[in-house]
Amino acid sequence: MNSKNVGEIIRLFVFTLVGSLLMFVLQPLIYTAGVVRLSNIEKQDLWLSDHYMSAATIVFIVSILATFIWYVWNLYSPPADGKMASARSVGWWILLLLPILGIVAALVFAVQPSPTIGKLTGTDLPILAAMFSFDVLAIYWGATASSTPGLARRLPPGSQAIFRR
In order, the DSSP letters of 3-42 are: HHHHHHHHHHHHHHHHHHHIIIIIHHHHHHTTSS--SSBS
3-state helix, strand, coil split of the chain in percent (to 5) is 75, 0, 25
Whole-number Cα distances in Å, 65 to 1, 71, 83, 95: 22, 10, 26, 9
Report CA dihedral (114, 119, 125, 129) to the nearest 10 degrees. Answer: -20
Q: What is the pLDDT of residues 74-84, one digit of tens each?
A: 999 989 888 88
Phi, psi of 114 (to 5 degrees): -135, 135
Closest alpha carbon to 52 in 31, 71, 70, 81: 31
120 or 142: which leads in pLDDT:
142
Mean pLDDT of the chain: 90
Q: Model-level pTM?
A: 0.91
3-state secondary structure of 117: coil
Whole-number Cα distances in Å, 14 to 10, 80, 134, 144: 6, 28, 15, 12
- The predicted structure's pLDDT at residue 114: 80
**What is the distance between the alpha carbons of residues 75 and 57, in angstroms, rounded to a whole number?**
26
User: Cβ atoms within 10 A of the Cβ of 138, count?
Assistant: 20
Q: What is the pLDDT of residues 25-73, one digit of tens each?
A: 999 999 999 898 888 788 888 889 989 999 999 999 999 999 999 999 9
